[in-house]
Chains A and B, each alone.
Chain A
């Protein structure tokens, strides 16, 4: 139904054009249920229906962009869209040419309609509360349909819809001692969920042991796939965008300017083909299956938005305006997942990290905290949870000279972010054993 509305809306905007005008249009919608839990009870529960369109009204190199929320009923929305188009036309009239305006002029239409296999709200809530019985469960269940569309006046139509759920939850023992888990996907499998609950319960038993306080210093660590996703994800803050490279603000500046390298095991891709994000971007360009960002430890390609492409005279590779990855993929290594404790031998098992930020961007040094299930390991055995520690490390150590190995198995991580709307980004990550990881506080 939303797809029909999107096509009707796109045609309607086309009928509003004058003279040599061109439009590009992006449609965003979702119907979400959000259920928030605390102490295994419901804190807040509700439903959100939101739809919006952004239109770029173009004539030659002049253009103006505007976004409008929608009801989803074209008869109701048409007058407001007409009003937006009219105001964009007026605004465009006073603006200068945009020398970096670039949009797709070859028509490549696509259509991806996701199946709806979501569980009923009652089933999901009941199962989650059952999992929390006798425990302190806190977190959020987010589920429902997500729709994205691109259209232009050249006739291109790209449609993407997905129906997914993302349960992001923790079991708490006391104070800050807890275990975090995630269960996300397209079809709820009670057995798979139960398995995750059992694994979390086992980790919680380990968290209940008396905690150990470690001193500042360098330790051998294991970074779980989720922890590594957060650390590698920091590189998305301007690490790969052509604009950041041209303005020398990339945190990977030393790789670019001085030829600094990471370990040869490190191959990092924007892997759109195996991700869950739409395969098109806001100016109508399709994304390639993948872009090699770092290949065997050396910097390879940038993410290039149409705007950067025009400015710097290179082809776009379908990146969005912010030139950030949405489907990060770090290749696996040779370590078997079931041997990581043995490989770690003595050190810190880091299940999660928290609140990362650059403390020295030029040197790609990141600070952050341990959080949730983080354990002290001796002789390949988990001994005790550790009290939270601050780390401050550069990627050149973690994935460079101090990298012992990456696991062969990788986790597929669906982003649980819900700022403004539910995220469609994801990552595929191995775990990593790292030497001399610096804890500073």
Chain B
């Protein structure tokens, strides 16, 4: 199919300053069992092409699900019309944008292919896990599920670029609700952030097959637990909450397109400004953060971004110092005159064929430190341990945040104590990371990710990956439910 498409691309290639064809296809399947009953099994096959034209000082795109020669030529015509209509009106000079010339192929990892396991065997597996969630009458809702997506892309450019990539994503999930009267608690399998690239082996890698009894037990404990206390104290965050903390208060603030103002009408601006790169102390010296597309099983690993830039690992924060933004080739060109020497990463990404690439997070990871969980707990005279994101909210400059978790435990005199429900905390990004007191070692790291990062106008939802150790913060406001 790709050969046929490429031939059509070349036949439709217009005589312009620059043109690219970006084909994306995603075949997805969802299987879920709710309270022992199989939900409707659904599948989808989505594909289309975005044609981008830069010509004579204008820039435009045309995207279509009509992959016939005529359909592609209509998309070329639309892209050219928009390029013509925007001549001299764009926020950047299209002639200055790099023209992707890279050639290559990237294939994400798959050991035990999704399609090699019969549908009925997948259903049986989910039914078994679903049944193991229902351990008590108080559990009123119990669900096990997974979804799989097979992705494929082809980029062909007028500058000689030719890139093909294939991906396989598996997202396992489990959830229970436990209820007593007007009190209900939720407990999930890592807030469904255990998505990874790979096949059915992801279930073993992430512990899906052993999680159900623990999820049910903890839900029942939460139902009987007191609220999280309200105080300023030490906060120990598990990786399945660190995912969210990294995402919202490091990832988004350092996206270069936000800093350049593109997102101000929707996702927001940033407290980070261009002059802060290279000099701003983002966190304590224990904080090391990498943009890392090389951990193959992580959600947003790839060989090339959607502008065709080869992806390599880069540190964005080292020993707490802010080094470089998350900005792709287009944003880097725009930022250079404003902050000469600024660098970026290969993170120009589109959610699908029908949306243009913008700066996205991809994999953004906190590098491990040297402390064991036991050492961190022992160091705490009083504090709270929180696990699994439940609630998230942050201001449009990505500073004042408030996050909530599913599961909390008190820490007193170096020992983990009783369970608390509604564990919430709030803070300010600019000071929170400077209170990073201890960073867990490699044994505490979990590789996680989410398929639901929203941003952009028109809106786009992309997969991102976050790997993190367990981390300890000091002087954090924690609190519980409504009084």
Interface residues of A (CB under 8 A from B): 32, 34, 36, 38-39, 41-52, 54, 56, 63-73, 76, 84, 87, 91, 94-96, 98-101, 121-122, 125, 129, 136, 138-140, 142, 168-170, 172, 175-176, 178, 180, 247-249, 253-254, 257-258, 354-363, 365, 367-369, 371, 388, 390, 392, 394, 417-420, 422, 440-441
Residues of B within 8 A of A248 (CB): 140-141, 177, 179, 184
Q: How far is the CB of A92 from chain B (nearest CB, A)?
A: 9
Q: Which of B374-408 contact A (CB under 8 A)?
A: 391-397, 400, 402, 404
Q: How far is the CB of A432 from chain B (nearest CB, A)?
A: 20
Q: How far is the CB of A83 from chain B (nearest CB, A)?
A: 9
Q: Residue B37 at the A interface, CB < 8 A?
A: yes
Q: Which of B103-153 contact A (CB under 8 A)?
A: 118-120, 123, 140-141
Check if A418 sits within 8 Å of B90, measured CB to CB: no
Check if B457 sits within 8 Å of A64, measured CB to CB: no
Residues of B within 8 A of A417 (CB): 459
Contact A95/B400 with A50-B65, A139-B457, A418-B458 known, Cβ cut-off 8 Å? no
Check if A139 sits within 8 Å of B43, measured CB to CB: no
Q: Residue B15 at the A interface, CB < 8 A?
A: no
A100-B37, A355-B395 given; name 12 further pairs at CB < 8 Å.
Answer: A46-B356, A48-B62, A67-B44, A67-B45, A71-B71, A95-B38, A248-B141, A356-B393, A358-B391, A369-B393, A419-B461, A420-B461
Interface residues of B (CB under 8 A from A): 37-38, 40-48, 50, 52, 59-68, 71, 74-75, 78-79, 81-82, 85-86, 89-91, 118-120, 123, 140-141, 177, 179, 181-184, 186, 260-262, 264-266, 268-269, 354-356, 391-397, 400, 402, 404, 422, 424, 426, 428, 454, 457-461, 480-482
Check if A44 sits within 8 Å of B120, measured CB to CB: no
**Chain B residue with minimal CB distance to A29?**
B65
Residues of B within 8 A of A100 (CB): 37
What are 30 A-to-B residue pairs whose CB atoms are below 8 Å? A34-B458, A38-B261, A42-B90, A44-B61, A45-B82, A46-B60, A47-B61, A49-B65, A64-B41, A67-B42, A67-B44, A71-B68, A72-B66, A87-B43, A94-B120, A95-B41, A100-B37, A129-B89, A140-B265, A168-B265, A180-B265, A354-B268, A355-B395, A359-B393, A360-B481, A367-B393, A371-B268, A418-B459, A419-B460, A441-B428
Q: How far is the CB of A30 from chain B (nearest CB, A)?
A: 10
Check if B68 sits within 8 Å of A73, measured CB to CB: yes
A121–B83 Cα distance when bound, in Å, is 13
**Chain A residue with minimal CB distance to B186?**
A249
Residues of A within 8 A of B428 (CB): 441
The 5 A-B residue pairs whose C-beta atoms are closest, nearest first, are A46-B61, A363-B482, A418-B458, A247-B141, A140-B457
Q: Which of B79, B82, B396 contacts A371 (CB 8 A)?
A: B396
Q: How far is the CB of B257 from chain A (nearest CB, A)?
A: 9
Check if B62 sits within 8 Å of A359, measured CB to CB: no
Check if B40 sits within 8 Å of A56, measured CB to CB: yes
Q: Which of A180, A359, A362, A368 contacts B183 (CB 8 A)?
A: A362
A363–B482 Cα distance when bound, in Å, is 6
A139–B91 Cα distance when bound, in Å, is 13
A175–B459 Cα distance when bound, in Å, is 22
A47–B45 Cα distance when bound, in Å, is 21
Residues of B within 8 A of A44 (CB): 59, 61, 356
A169–B85 Cα distance when bound, in Å, is 20
Check if B177 sits within 8 Å of A249, measured CB to CB: yes
Residues of A within 8 A of B481 (CB): 360, 362-363, 365
A371–B360 Cα distance when bound, in Å, is 23
Check if A39 sits within 8 Å of B459, measured CB to CB: no
A39–B92 Cα distance when bound, in Å, is 11
Check if A95 sits within 8 Å of B123, measured CB to CB: yes
Residues of B within 8 A of A362 (CB): 182-184, 481
A363–B86 Cα distance when bound, in Å, is 50
**Chain B residue with minimal CB distance to A45?**
B82
Q: How far is the CB of A310 from chain B (nearest CB, A)?
A: 11
Q: How far is the CB of A357 from chain B (nearest CB, A)?
A: 5
Q: How far is the CB of A245 from chain B (nearest CB, A)?
A: 11
Contact A418/B457 with A51-B65, A67-B43, A360-B422 known, Cβ cut-off 8 Å? yes
A31–B459 Cα distance when bound, in Å, is 16
